[in-house]
């Protein structure tokens, strides 16, 4: 019985994310939004579609969520991601967004990581 539990746990750890795709995209932020209990409560709109990212994640449209509800990361981390997006929106610098198409809020893909990138002009 214990060996079946261990096998099942190992199978879940090994293969649980096998259908999830992650990708990264360098883009400019054209808009940010803070919402009340939809789409993870905060998100950013990028200047290009998310599904053009490397590894082609299954993410519709140009919006990414930071999960400010605390579902996929702490609220503190989510708001720091939003801060980076807002700074990039104001300065028109690029951000690099890493997305996971298995984690979504109302169909909007979750950004697992956000990096600020200085634009070269």
Q: What's the pTM?
A: 0.78
Token pair in block for residue 21: 């795709």
Tell me whether residue 3 is in a domain.
no
Task: State the first-to-last Cα distance of the chain, in angstroms, to the nearest integer.
Answer: 63
Q: What integer pLDDT is reported at residue 11 of this predicted model?
A: 44
39: Cα separation from own chain's centroid: 11
C-alpha span between 100 and 103 (Å, rounded): 6
Q: What integer pLDDT is reported at residue 118 of this predicted model?
A: 83
Tell me whether residue 53 is in a domain.
yes
Tell me whether residue 10 is in a domain.
no
Q: How many domains does the chain have?
A: 1
Tell me whether residue 97 is in a domain.
yes
Q: Which domain holds residue 80?
A: 21-117
Tell me whether residue 74 is in a domain.
yes
Tell me whether residue 103 is in a domain.
yes
User: pLDDT digit string (tens) for 82-109?
Assistant: 999 999 999 999 999 999 889 999 999 9
Domain of residue 102, CATH code? 2.40.50.50
């Amino acid at each position: 019985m214990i060996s079946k539990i261990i096998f099942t746990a190992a199978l879940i750890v090994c293969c649980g994310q096998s259908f999830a795709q992650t990708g990264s995209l360098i883009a400019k932020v054209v808009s940010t939004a803070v919402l009340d209990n939809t789409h993870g409560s905060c998100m950013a709109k990028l200047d290009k579609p998310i599904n053009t990212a490397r590894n082609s994640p299954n993410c519709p449209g140009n919006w990414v969520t930071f999960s400010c509800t605390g579902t996929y990361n702490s609220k503190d981390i989510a708001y720091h991601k939003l801060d980076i997006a807002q700074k990039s929106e104001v300065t028109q610098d690029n951000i690099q967004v890493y997305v996971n198409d298995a984690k979504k809020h109302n169909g909007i893909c979750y950004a697992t990581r956000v990096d600020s990138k200085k634009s070269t002009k």
